[in-house]
A = this chain, B = another copy of it.
Amino acid sequence: MITIKDIAKLANVSDGTVDRVIHNRKGVSPKTAEKVKNILKENNFLLNPIASALATKKKYRIACLIPKSDKKNQFWKSPNLGILKARKEVTRYGLQIDIAHFDQYDSKSYLKKFKILQKNKPDAFIIAPVFSNETAFIAKELENNSIEYIFINIDNKKYKNIAFIGQDSQRAGFVAGKLMSLGLPKNSKCGVVQFRQSLIDHKAISNRISGFNNYLKEHRNDIKTKLIKISLNDKKNDLTKIKSFLNSAKTVSGIFVPSSRASYIASLLPEYVNTSNFSIIGYDTTEDNIFYLKNDKIQFIISQRSFNQGYEAVHIISDFLIQKKVPQKKTYSPIQIIIKENVDYDSRNKKTFINELSNQ
């Protein structure tokens, strides 16, 4: 293992000079710089990232811009826990993790929380880019200040995030299409739920829908789909819409919910629907979704190790800052097919961490 000292000896210069060359610092003549560079290459020298990390005075700060979760919106609870776990670990390395939770239905809160985080001048951002347009502003802001950022859970090609961690949502929709078609008789009809206008630009959701439609188009073009617009606020009205959809054809046999709110649809489902011929397919193993899965109201949940998404995101950006380790562009979470029978084996990590927390 060749060190800076070794290189210095070989080049007949001091350690400091080698250090300057390695980091492209000024104060070294072109001649010696060239000489040192060559010797560096010849011995294919690499910095010892551990010693480097220890010696670096700089303390990094990472900001997380993540939706908050509550009883109605449980999905983000899991990534948040993952972030907390990772925070515990990286704090030892002199890293500081700021977390701000925004309202995922309020784009203004997204921007507001971003600006708050920005005040601490973080060195990197972890962002859940729920709002496409506002993300444009944020991305620009960060790029102007050459602050790197990664996306978590929701991807968006338009931006220069150095990494994405989450599911391939297009493919996740595709798999949903496959699962759905499993139970669809010839020429039947299937609903696709869309919750309120404001989430139209939620890339993960729109990708799931397009993946879903793609599957049906490619493999089951006998199937008709119908968009069902649901308010999420007006339960009575929502119920009416579901009922009218159910009555809109002879063979209605499934509803695809491209978000984590399949439980809401399940809760609206009238008792007379024969669930053995009818499928609800949704995403993410939230408490409510699991409840309805176990009660045969939801047939499939596609989950994505969301706890790990938070956990990995922090580690990826930490390694990038400290060790200059360039992350993979895409870290895809598994497309887990969760059914009644295997749901209890899902997301062990999260459970262990929650236990750790409560033991303190």
Contacts and interface: CB of A to CB of B under 8 A. Distances in A.
Contact of A328 (B53, B335, B349): B349
A92 B1 contact: yes
A206 interface: no
A179 B178 CA distance: 8
Interface string A314-333: 00000000000000111011
Contact of A182 (B50, B53, B181): B181
A48 interface: yes
B93 A178 contact: no
Contacts of A92: 1, 46-49
A330 B175 CA distance: 24
Given A335-B334, A349-B328, A50 B54 contact: yes
Contacts of A218: 341
A4 to B, nearest CB: 13
Contacts of A342: 171, 174
- Chain A contact residues (Cβ within 8 angstroms of B): what range? 20 to 34
Contact of A50 (B1, B93, B341): B93
Contacts of A175: 337
Contacts of A332: 334
Contacts of A341: 218
A235 interface: no
A53 B50 CA distance: 7
Contacts of A50: 50, 53-54, 93
A224 interface: no
Given A50-B53, A92-B1, A334 B337 contact: no
Interface in A37-65: 46-51, 53-54
A162 B132 CA distance: 43
A51 B54 contact: yes
Contacts of A47: 92
A94 B1 contact: yes
14 contacts: A1-B91, A1-B92, A1-B94, A50-B93, A54-B54, A171-B337, A171-B342, A178-B179, A178-B182, A328-B349, A330-B348, A333-B334, A335-B336, A335-B337
